[in-house]
Structure 1
Amino acid sequence: MRGRSARAASRRGSAVPVAAAASVPPSAVTGTATGTWLTRGKDGRLTAYAPAAGGLLRWTETRPGGPGWSGPDVVEVAGLTHLAVVQGADTYVHFLGRRERRRVNGAVEVDVVHAIQYQSGRPVTEWRSLGNPHREPDKARRFGAPSGAVASDGTVYVFAPNAGGGLMMRREGKGGRWEPWADLRGADVRDGLTAAATSDGRIEVFAPAEGAALHWFQSGPAALPQRSHDVRPAPRAGSVAALETAPGRLTYFWTDAAGTGLVCHRPGGWSVPLGGTPGEGANAVLRTALDGYDCTVIAHRGASGTVQVGVCATEAESSGLWWTDTGLACAGDPALAHDGRARVVVAAFDPGGTLRVARQTPEPGLVLGDWAPV
């Protein structure tokens, strides 16, 4: 299916030009994207993305494992108020944006837009509108920020809060045709939800709400997601990260809205407090092998404003996390990925808007090298 969809997308429209932008100052970065904004392509090269005035910026490694990078390149798309980056198992990178456009009569039109990058450093497809499920102008303006996931068969799922606090879903059907928006219901759903795919072909959604997190899951591949039990304590909006910690099983990590630190949860079990001192923003998670042990790495912007990295045994979080303050003051949320040499890489933007990366060194455990500007 994925190959058919890719060819169909190619026929539907030309790629959006990607312009070299060596003169773009770091201050052009307007924030960090949600989702996986540091990705590894099929060729092993890392790419970083950030929203900017008039579109998004892109930096790409010149060879797998670095240390050189090209960019920033500019991908133009006007009116984005939110950008989510989602990568599938096929390594295609999907961009989901919430777009606002002002009409000649002064009205503001809101829709969700989607584009794809098939290969590292290559052009991005034409941005395609996925519309807005609300017909009434007032409700349409209150449609929320999208998040998404790509199932193992290549199907793209898009989720967003509607004006009434419920959850809406739109997904790509056979042959690249998109199904209509579906109302998955719910109440008090807020921006900052997280969608994730499992290796057995399913999609799950974890959404912040008033006093709890709402959870949707698929009973099987392609099934309509259904509500599960609400989860407590409530997450801080935008802080939830999901990681497949066993085949078909996701573990969720988030920052407790009450300020008690990190929490993790696996559906069917109890939420486990992990402590720590996370600040505002998202948690990034990555599963990796350290000294022969299956480990989970967590990175976030701490309460002090610096990037903090924690490590624990996978699915043994209650045994404790070992934290390191990297000392880098950051703006926005850090990201985690494996580079082309299988090293853990942490990326973040410093307060001046410069992209910086730190890579795992060959020492025992997880030891990061110095932060290098890109």
Structure 2
Amino acid sequence: MLGQGARATSDAAHEARRPWGIWLTRGKDGRLTAYVPDGGGLRRWTEKRPGGPAWGESDVVPAPELTHLSVAQNADAYVHFAGRRERPAAEGGVTVDIVHAIQYQTGRPLSAWQSVGNPHKEADVGARFGAPTVVVSPSGEVTIAVRNGRGGMMVRRERADGRWRRWEDLRCRRIEQVPAVVALSTGYVEILAATDKETLHWAQDKPGGGWGDVQRSKRVVAPGSLAVLETSPGRATYYWTDPAAGVVAYRTDGEPIDLGGAPSDDTHAAVRAELDGLDCTVLAHRGSSGTAFVGVAVTEDEANGVWWSDTGAPCLTAPALIHDAHDRVVMAVVGQDGAPRVARQTDGPGLSFDEWRAL
């Protein structure tokens, strides 16, 4: 049986071996941007015009010494990046901190990376500080949640004047993975994290306020599989992989709903879309076969069935989903050669995609 410190070390090593992934954003001008890790930074591709299909040549956004990244956008389409930075320590080992940067316009340089620190003073514990998840509330408040070096949950928030509050300790133990965090349209932020035996859920007591009591549920969550989507105003649906049941959907006032699928050990992408006049949820993951799978269900009615389809596109990590300027669903993957590819929703009934386009 692993002790708490050994478990945290094992989890940090597991996270460090995982591919970063791929991210899609849509700027205020309607153009999509794709980001993929590349050496000491992020390689970035941007659509030549809103709705594509052509993409411009890539450029590199400096992001030195990052091991993980989280990406979110605010109401003005500013892109917020939160990364885990790991640097060699003079006395041996590594020093870890969380850094934050903003891209204000499509294709423009990022702001300077600003360190928001690491709450641990002990070097060995600080080196186990986890990967961040960043969200931005409708008010513009930035929230970063991180599993700490002892398996707890830490949160840091940016104040209205742009300065950062102190780290908040949500006082829990045995968290084993990156949390799912959502900034709801009603102004509340929610966090769902998982241990090896249960899930832990926190919700703000008011927009921008403190955190209520933790809600615990006996659920089994495969490491690295948590995701979340707002599926109605102020209501979040969480998705993860149950090792025995495949993908599940969970709302905190109900029981997990089995969705099937054949996911690998990555997270899930989720986006809502109107299909055939119905409010639907589109899900995507890397299947156990190593190819990208996509699923469709009527939003918050998953119990009546999910339609899954293997796209046949090999991918190294979880796909990304977004809407383009014409409200079509766009899916992006990182191919086995490390290069990104995108497919775009076609006209017609249901959900189908055109041919994969290499960027």
- TM interval, short-chain normalised: over 0.9
> Following the alignment from structure 1 to structure 2, what is the Cα–Cα distance between the partners of residues 158 and 249?
20
Q: Which residue of 207, 232, 241 corresponds with 2:227?
A: 241
1:21-59: CA deviations, max 9, x gaps? Answer: xxxxxxxxx93347xx11111111111112222121111
SS at match of 2:57: strand
Q: In structure 2, what is the equivalent of residue 268 of structure 1?
A: 253
Q: Percent identity?
A: 50
Q: Which residue of 71, 88, 94 corresponds with 2:80?
A: 94
Name the stretch that deviates more: 239-248 or 283-292.
239-248
Letter in 2 for 1:54: G
Q: In structure 1, what is the equivalent of residue 209 of structure 2?
A: 223
Name the stretch that deviates more: 308-317 or 140-149.
140-149
Q: Which residue of 165, 183, 208 corresponds with 1:179?
A: 165
Name the stretch that deviates more: 210-219 or 98-107.
98-107
> Following the alignment from structure 1 to structure 2, what is the Cα–Cα distance between the partners of residues 195 and 42?
23
Q: What's the TM-score once normalised by structure 2's chain length?
A: 0.92
Q: In structure 1, what is the equivalent of residue 356 of structure 2?
A: 371
Q: Judge conservation of contact 2:141–2:157 (CA < 8 Å) in 1.
A: yes
> Following the alignment from structure 2 to structure 1, what is the Cα–Cα distance between the partners of residues 34 and 212?
33
> Following the alignment from structure 1 to structure 2, what is the Cα–Cα distance between the partners of residues 47 and 97?
18
Structure 1 position 148 matched with structure 2 position 134: yes
Q: What's the TM-score once normalised by structure 1's chain length?
A: 0.89
Structure 2 unaligned regions, length at least 5? 1-17
Q: In structure 2, what is the equivalent of residue 354 of structure 1?
A: 339
Structure 1 unaligned regions, length at least 5? 1-29
> Following the alignment from structure 2 to structure 1, what is the Cα–Cα distance between the partners of residues 319 and 330?
10
Q: Judge conservation of contact 1:148–1:194 (CA < 8 Å) in 2.
A: no
Summarize the alignment of residues 2-151 of structure 1 with structure 2, pairs less than 5 Å apart. 31-33=19-21, 37-151=23-137
Q: Which residue of 298, 311, 336 corresponds with 2:321?
A: 336
Shift of 1:275: 1.6
> Following the alignment from structure 1 to structure 2, what is the Cα–Cα distance between the partners of residues 279 and 259?
13
Q: Judge conservation of contact 1:215–1:230 (CA < 8 Å) in 2.
A: yes
> Following the alignment from structure 1 to structure 2, what is the Cα–Cα distance between the partners of residues 277 and 196?
25
Shift of 1:352: 0.2
SS at match of 2:202: strand
SS at match of 1:69: coil
Letter in 2 for 1:159: A
Letter in 1 for 2:146: A
Shift of 1:107: 4.5
> Following the alignment from structure 2 to structure 1, what is the Cα–Cα distance between the partners of residues 339 and 165?
40
Q: In structure 1, what is the equivalent of residue 8 of structure 2?
A: none
Q: In structure 2, what is the equivalent of residue 17 of structure 1?
A: none
Shift of 1:77: 2.5
Structure 1 position 284 matched with structure 2 position 269: yes
Q: In structure 2, what is the equivalent of residue 4 of structure 1?
A: none
Q: In structure 1, what is the equivalent of residue 146 of structure 2?
A: 160
Q: Judge conservation of contact 2:295–2:309 (CA < 8 Å) in 1.
A: yes
